Structure 1
Amino acid sequence: MLIGALLILTWLILLIRYPAKALPVSGAALIGLLLVGAWMYWLDTREARQLAHLELRLDYAPTRCPADRPLALTLKNGGGSPLQELRWRIAAYAPGDSVNLVETLYDAPRYRGPGELLPGDTWHDCLPLPPFRPGYRPDTLEFRAERLQGSFAD
């Protein structure tokens, strides 16, 4: 932080003392920063648009899945780009409630998607349940995938 403050102070001194030389360099630096910011904004909104085309559904299905992994997952890539990697966290809510009942522990399961999912393809899997707060049964809860993070092929 001290180095940043010294750089800004030095830039201000140079701008005041030598405005004819420092102003064009400052303008070019500002244009460069704006271009980098625009590029980062475009990449962020592009990823958000691609993630919005994913359909991820979680259901408690102990009859369709093994006992140690009773959470059924269906993921469909409705976008136009192949999904390369996907990570998420599972949240559980009581019907009509907005409090997440999943305890976020260090050793809680990590959820990852398929290696590659082509556009229009569907992936099915069974997942382990996350740890809940005491007093709740999984068959009474609604499960949602939150904090989606993914990467897509160009």
Structure 2
Amino acid sequence: MAWAFAIILLLLFAYFLATKPRGTLIATASIAGVVVIALYYFDLKAKAEASAEQRLQDGIEVLVKHSPTECSEDKPLLVTIKNNGDLIVSRVWWSLSITNYGHSSNIIRGYSGNNYSSDKILRKGEYYSVCLKNPIERPKKVVKDVATRPSLKEFIEDEEHKEIEENIFADLPSSDGIDSASHDRTINPEEFTYSIENKSISFVR
């Protein structure tokens, strides 16, 4: 249908160009000029709106640090959300990035639990803190009867932590003399760099 409409327009243009060439060219140039101006205006408007939205997002701080003293041994990661903007924050989403010191690869990439959110309403100047488990630390297993099979959740967690440990040791230089398959090295959570990524904010407008 669209191609038929285009053919009709081309035929009309050819007809008017043949019968009234000067008027047709002036009208075509005017229409083209209006279209270019309109496209430029809407492009500038879209960029301005995107820039304004980015400034709103940047006005919300989401910070993370390993702090078992401020939190607990079971949940040692302290995440703090602070509203430095003018709008009220209704929800915040984020994920964690944990890297070996001096490296840039996120060693918990692919970890299914790396999606967090908070529905704490924050007005300008307010902040909120929450303590989280550290994905690189294996959860303490409860001793069960040997005949009891691990649950599906426990099995998935165990497999994911094996992958995380593989990522940890993959970043280490071979000169360290560490066999990545043996996992003999003790993992010290304080030796890693923690940061926030994929931050997204919802505001009350």
TM range (shorter): 0.7 to 0.9
- The separation in 1 between residues aligned to 2:87 and 2:131, in whole angstroms, is 25
How far does residue 116 in structure 1 lie from its aligned partner after superposition? 1.3
Q: Does 2:130 align with 1:125?
A: yes
Residue 14 (structure 1) aligned to one of 2, 5, 8: 8
AA at the equivalent of 1:63: T
Q: Does 2:66 align with 1:73?
A: no
Q: Is the contact made by 2:120 and 2:128 (CA closer than 8 Å) also made in structure 1?
A: no
- The separation in 2 between residues aligned to 1:10 and 1:67, in whole angstroms, is 70
Root mean square deviation, CA, Å: 3.2
- The separation in 2 between residues aligned to 1:153 and 1:30, in whole angstroms, is 36
Q: Does 2:57 align with 1:57?
A: no
Q: Does 2:45 align with 1:47?
A: no
2:199 match: 148
1:3 match: none
AA at the equivalent of 1:143: Y
- The separation in 2 between residues aligned to 1:88 and 1:115, in whole angstroms, is 14
**Higher strand proportion, which one?**
1
3-state SS in 2 of match to 1:18: helix
User: Greater CA radius of gyration, 1 or 2?
Assistant: 2
How far does residue 31 in structure 1 lie from its aligned partner after superposition? 7.7
What is the TM-score with the length of structure 2 in the denominator?
0.58
Q: Does 2:95 align with 1:85?
A: no
Q: Is the contact made by 1:78 and 1:120 (CA closer than 8 Å) also made in structure 2?
A: yes
> Would you identify which runs of 4 or more consecutive aligned residues in structure 1 move more than 4 Å?
23-40
- The separation in 2 between residues aligned to 1:145 and 1:111, in whole angstroms, is 11
Structure 1: which 5+ residue stretches go unaligned?
Answer: 1-5
**Per-residue Cα deviation, 1:116-144 (whole angstroms, up to 9, x for no partner):** 11110011110122356214542211111
Single out whichever of 132-141 and 76-85 deviates more from structure 2.
Answer: 132-141
Q: Is the contact made by 2:99 and 2:194 (CA closer than 8 Å) also made in structure 1?
A: yes
Q: 1:90 to 1:63 in 2, by over 3 A?
A: same
State percent identity of aligned pairs.
22
- The separation in 2 between residues aligned to 1:85 and 1:32, in whole angstroms, is 36
Structure 2: which 5+ residue stretches go unaligned?
Answer: 17-27, 137-160, 169-186
What is the TM-score with the length of structure 1 in the denominator?
0.73
